Structure 1
Amino acid sequence: MTDTPQRSRPLRVLAAMSGGVDSAVAAARAAEAGHDVTGVHLALSANPQSFRTGARGCCTIEDSRDARRAADVIGIPFYVWDLADRFREDVVEDFVAEYEAGRTPNPCLRCNEKIKFAALLDKALALGFDAVCTGHYAKIVTLPDGSRELHRASDLAKDQSYVLGVLDEQQLAHALFPLGDTVTTKEEIRAEAERRGLAVAKKPDSHDICFIADGDTQGFLARRLGKAEGDIVDEAGTKVGTHEGAYGFTIGQRKGLRIGTPAADGKPRYVLDISPVNNTVTVGPAEALDVTALTAIRPRWCGAAPTGPGTYTAQLRAHGGETEVSAELVDGELRVTFTEPVRGVAPGQAIVLYDGTRVVGSATIASTTRAKTAATV
């Protein structure tokens, strides 16, 4: 098994350039490796000023200009592609609909699946490109038979394989991740960018959600869905407070509950359940969040689908740790049992399975089984 930052022959590569330092260095490395590279910035908003402003590395007019300047320094052609309609439908509207249904989506994962490695890749292949290059920190390993695997990045502190767990075998065959194939820290990436004369060397990383300009997710959802006052209840169904929209809460949330009645034991309470049907939020003690098993739907495999039950590690959040699980595909659904109970697991989130550093695949959490009540949420 060998790590291959590039194939044996030069490729026609479309480098997705967000305007940040990672994608700029990735494009530069691809060009330096001898590939025929063209840079492209994705215009994801019909009104870019409605997205984040400042040096955030995604989705603004300023970012488009930063990407163009980086392409000029690298010496590659550069274009801006308008994917605003597709982004709005597949990412923004999906995000709103998921929260409205009481689930907790990951828009970055959806963007990778639907935009960068579906809409963008499809267009790239149609235009005769061989691969799409991004600045993600992940590693592609090529096996002796030519098949490819997705692995964690060498720098685990920057690993982004979780948000790439939606990529299938065909998409991996046309992907390049130049930053993940060597032991490279973010500090080294910035130093490399400076050596290459890229003005984005010191540009801050992008954080949070690119299409929520002020970072206020609850306010964004309120503007889209409207205020809808409802009850906050405890496990017994007793009203302990009110809210202005159940969509503004996530499973495991502690802050911002605005509960007027304290718990009998004086301990903090957490969101246990969100019911969009009756617009009710249920709260309770931390131990009631312990999840022992879950069912996930719409599995996507980074290669062949597993056969029979297996033991893996699982990651449940983009910046979360790994936990040991047993998992099996049953009637198209992924059934997962945790070796030790975990908390903060919410329907709508993605679970990504790993075999060592290899990404096996991902699925969307549909329901969970709690340890305290042995009830399915």
Structure 2
Amino acid sequence: MKVLAAMSGGVDSAVAAARMVEAGHEVTGVHLALSRNPQSFRTGARGCCSREDAHDARRAADVLGIPFYVWDLSERFAADVVDDFVAEYAAGRTPNPCLRCNEKIKFSAVLERGLALGFDRVATGHYARLLPGPDGVELHRAVDGDKDQSYVLGVLGPEQLARSAFPLGDTPKPQVRAEAAARGLLVADKPDSHDICFIADGDTAGFLSSRLGSQPGAVVDTDGTVLGSHEGTHGFTVGQRRGLRLGVPAPDGRPRFVLDISPAERTVTVGPREALEVRELEGIRPGWTGQAPVAEWHGTVQLRAHGEALPARAELRDGRLLVRLERPASGVAPGQAVVLYDGTRVVGSATIDSTRHGTTGARDAQPVAAR
């Protein structure tokens, strides 16, 4: 089988490529150049788009004895991931760019080009498992729960999963590093990338301000009383506690949290922690890793990349996904993804559009227009 191995320059993708070679496949390595102006070196352990990472990927390919290429996808990455990220924050939502990158770049642009070039599969270093099921290949959680990345792969459809390979899904991360060292891969001890790869210094607020500028507004309580000011709603996310700069303390002395963000009115609403509790949410653009549920669905949902699995019920209604949580979740923001699980199997996902406080039926966050 001809396999295109996506090699980021890190230990996971290098070992994934090595395993595909060892399995007897005809493997070609490809590094994705996603930054228009890549730095020469990483900033700490952040990011995966530097020239250093490209060189590390090439050296790993040389050790494995496989062909290696660099594909410049920076324009598509800027349009589909970076610009989308900025637009989502400008609209008061909190996106996960890793999901968008998997959906639009790694398993769309790369897979499309790979298939056009005659490759059968795209292999990555994601921690997830692909297992045979009655209706085809199924996406499951990784054995290593701490490294599991099935959440950010929940946007993939059955056709994409059938053309993918995740060789590390059954292996704990320490064993992957040990294997890399045994294979002579110099990236064995390289730190993992984290946070947002295109914001190398980790200053998300600063990055957004440089793109969106200053848009002053008010920080208010649930009664509309002005408590402070801000330079842009894009600097906040639902559930945030720090950096609110409030001039008026709460009557009970307890901390306040961001409850709602309204870019149109340029207001940020804050309140007590208990007001963050959500019992119901609605999702837009639902997608399925296999067959879509035809009736009310029961299972667990995950609302963050490494969040808790919460028991829930869900149903499709007029093209939207209505999810009812059996116990409340806190700090759920529009723009995040809700990913559905049946045990360890990923069923599908949707983008959270609005949330509701289930005990009263009141809406906590107003729905936003689908993009």
Map residues 159-308 of structure 1 onto 2, 5 A cutoff: 159-180=148-169, 182=170, 184-308=171-295
State the partner residue of 1:105. 95
State the partner residue of 2:66. 76
Q: Deviations over 1:250-283 (max 9, x none)?
A: 0000111111110000000000000000100000
For residue 143 of structure 1, report the CA deviation from its aligned partner. 2.7
Distance 1:187 1:92 in 2: 32
Secondary structure of the structure 1 residue equivalent to 2:95? coil
Distance 1:194 1:293 in 2: 47
Distance 2:350 2:17 in 1: 30
Alignment equivalent of 1:354, drawn from 341, 351, 355: 341
For residue 155 of structure 1, report the CA deviation from its aligned partner. 1.3
For residue 55 of structure 1, report the CA deviation from its aligned partner. 5.3
Q: Deviations over 1:303-329 (max 9, x none)?
A: 111111011100000011100100001
State the partner residue of 1:24. 14
CA contact (8 A) 1:57 1:63 kept: no
For residue 54 of structure 1, report the CA deviation from its aligned partner. 5.0
For residue 334 of structure 1, report the CA deviation from its aligned partner. 0.4
Distance 1:370 1:230 in 2: 26
**TM-score normalized by structure 1?**
0.95
Distance 2:359 2:215 in 1: 30
**Structure 2 alignment gaps of length 5 or more:** 366-371
Distance 1:271 1:334 in 2: 25
Distance 1:200 1:110 in 2: 26
State the partner residue of 2:147. 158
Alignment equivalent of 2:301, drawn from 283, 296, 314: 314
Aligned AA for 1:111?
A: C
Could you say if the C-alpha distance between residues 203 and 315 of structure 1 is closer, same or farther in structure 2, counting changes exceeding 3 Å? same
Map residues 337-376 of structure 1 onto 2, 5 A cutoff: 337-371=324-358, 374-376=361-363
Q: Deviations over 1:146-196 (max 9, x none)?
A: x1000001111211000000000000010000000x2x2211111100000
Secondary structure of the structure 2 residue equivalent to 1:118? helix
Alignment equivalent of 2:83, drawn from 80, 88, 93: 93
Secondary structure of the structure 1 residue equivalent to 2:159? helix
Aligned AA for 1:300?
A: G
For residue 373 of structure 1, report the CA deviation from its aligned partner. 5.3
Distance 1:313 1:358 in 2: 10
CA contact (8 A) 1:50 1:213 kept: no
Distance 1:325 1:370 in 2: 15
Secondary structure of the structure 2 residue equivalent to 1:34? coil
**TM-score normalized by structure 2?**
0.96
Could you say if the C-alpha distance between residues 55 and 288 of structure 1 is closer, same or farther in structure 2, counting changes exceeding 3 Å? closer
CA contact (8 A) 1:55 1:62 kept: no
Map residues 111-126 of structure 1 onto 2, 5 A cutoff: 111-126=101-116
Q: CA RMSD in A?
A: 1.3
State the partner residue of 1:61. 51
State whether structure 2 residue 33 is matched by structure 1 residue 43.
yes
Aligned AA for 2:117?
A: L
Could you say if the C-alpha distance between residues 292 and 212 of structure 1 is closer, same or farther in structure 2, counting changes exceeding 3 Å? same
Alignment equivalent of 2:133, drawn from 135, 143, 154: 143
Secondary structure of the structure 2 residue equivalent to 1:231? strand
State whether structure 2 residue 314 is matched by structure 1 residue 327.
yes
CA contact (8 A) 1:233 1:239 kept: yes
CA contact (8 A) 1:31 1:37 kept: yes
Q: Deviations over 1:3-30 (max 9, x none)?
A: xxxxxxxx10000000000000000001
Q: Kindly tell me the number of residue pairs found equivalent between the two proteins.
A: 364
Matched-pair identity in %: 69
**Structure 1 alignment gaps of length 5 or more:** 1-10
CA contact (8 A) 1:137 1:160 kept: yes
CA contact (8 A) 1:294 1:337 kept: yes
Could you say if the C-alpha distance between residues 289 and 54 of structure 1 is closer, same or farther in structure 2, counting changes exceeding 3 Å? closer
